[in-house]
Amino acid sequence: MPKKRRSRANTKQIARERVRILWELARERALENPHLAKQHMADARRISRKVRERLPVDIARRLCRGCGMVLIPGRTCRVRVRHNRQTHVAVTCLSCGAIRRFPVRRQR
């Protein structure tokens, strides 16, 4: 591997692509091999951290914050719409039981 010859922008671009690829792999494997899927996402996090970026929002919100599991409704997580207080979607990770809540904004 050549050392540090890529520009910073290029490095970030490559990092993002790798994160995408790992995400796709993790999603494909989430059901048959959750452990491997978690491993992929741990790698993705490490890559993001290296270039000082966060995981893309669309990926981050489909991962369990507790255990890093890929959240697939009806398979690895339970999704419920709750109407107590503010209407929100409660996502329960079936792997570790962590609950995440996403507020629902009604459009009028």
Q: Give the interface with Zn ion as residue ranges (CB under 5 A).
A: 64, 66-67, 69, 93, 95-96, 98
Tokens of 107: 């459009």
* Rounded CA separation 108/31 (Å): 38
Decide whether 51 or 94 has the Cβ nearer to Zn ion.
94
CB of 32 to Zn ion, least distance (A): 18
Strand order in the sheet with 99-103: 77-82, 88-93, 99-103
Decide whether 51 or 98 has the Cβ nearer to Zn ion.
98
CB of 8 to Zn ion, least distance (A): 34
* Rounded CA separation 48/9 (Å): 13
CB of 14 to Zn ion, least distance (A): 29
Decide whether 26 or 64 has the Cβ nearer to Zn ion.
64
Decide whether 15 or 76 has the Cβ nearer to Zn ion.
76
CB of 5 to Zn ion, least distance (A): 40
Coil vs helix vs strand at 92 = strand
